[in-house]
Every structure is written in C-alpha cells, then in structure tokens.
Amino acid sequence: MSDMSDTKPDKATRLEQRKSAVLASLPPFSEILRGSFFQRSICCGKPSCRCASGVGHRRAYLGVTFAGGHTEQITVPPDLIPLARRWVANYQRWWRAIERVSEINRRLLRERLLPSSPLGSKRRK
C-alpha cells in the first residue's frame, strides 16, 4: 500500500534539490551587467559619407537607468559586443533565479517544511 501524498521530509528534500539545481546553473556573479543592450544606425553628417544615403553607421550601446531617473549610455566597441550581450543576459538569468529560489522558499515556509528555527534556538536578549 503506497501513500500518494509526500511526506514533509521528502517534499522538503525535493524543493531543496530544485533550489540547488537553480543555483548550480548560474553563471559567475562577477560576469553580470545591469542594463539594456541595443544597436542603432546613426548618420555622421558628412555629405560624402555612405550614411548620407541612409545606410548609417551601426553603433552598439548599453543603457542603464538609475534611481531618480538618471540614465547612462555607454558606447560598446564592436569587439566587446559579445561580452556585453553575455553579461546582460547573465544578469537577467540571475534575476530569474532569484525569483525561482524565492518561490521555492515561500513554498517551504508556507508548507512549514523548514526547521522550527533555521538559525538555532538562541534568542537575542
């Protein structure tokens, strides 16, 4: 006779394993960059340049908005475009992982699958 419902230790173990898997899949924390990567064409204004016919010069940028609305744009040189793209993508992966781990921790807390005091039984005086 097998019980279809999970026991608390089994469920907690599975959730902790999911959390570990999320953490193991993350890129190095030192390789993240908050911002938006984008490319656009610009015209330099020289009448004899090819961009005067509408082709434009391709430029890559990283845009970051800070608290208070201050925005910073950094021109990304062509040889650093793959690195900038990867770092921005890594940042987004970290944020998705934070949301997944938070979801798992909420479930552990909601279902009372945590030890009664994860920090020990000592109280502050």
User: Each residue of 79-88: pLDDT tens digit?
Assistant: 999 999 999 9
DSSP letter assigned to residue 39? E
Residue 23 is part of which domain span?
8-110
Residue 119 lies in a domain: no
Q: Judge if pTM exceeds 0.75.
A: no
Tell me the sheet residues that pair with 39: 60
Q: What is the mean pLDDT of residues 21-36?
A: 95
Rounded CA-CA distance 116/125 in Å is 19
Residue 32 lies in a domain: yes
Residue 118 lies in a domain: no
pLDDT-derived band at 95, boundaries 50, 70, 90: very high
Contact 42, 51 (CB under 8 A): yes
**Is the backbone of residue 35 left (phi > 0), alpha (psi -120 to 50) or beta?**
left
* Mean confidence (pLDDT) of the chain: 86
Contact 42, 56 (CB under 8 A): yes
pLDDT at residue 2 above 50? no
Count of structural domains, the chain: 1
DSSP letter assigned to residue 21? H
Residue 117 lies in a domain: no
Lowest-confidence segment of 35-39, 84-88, 93-97, 117-121 by average pLDDT: 117-121
Residue 40 lies in a domain: yes
Bridge pairing between strands 71-76 and 57-65 = antiparallel
Residue 115 lies in a domain: no
pLDDT at residue 23 above 70? yes
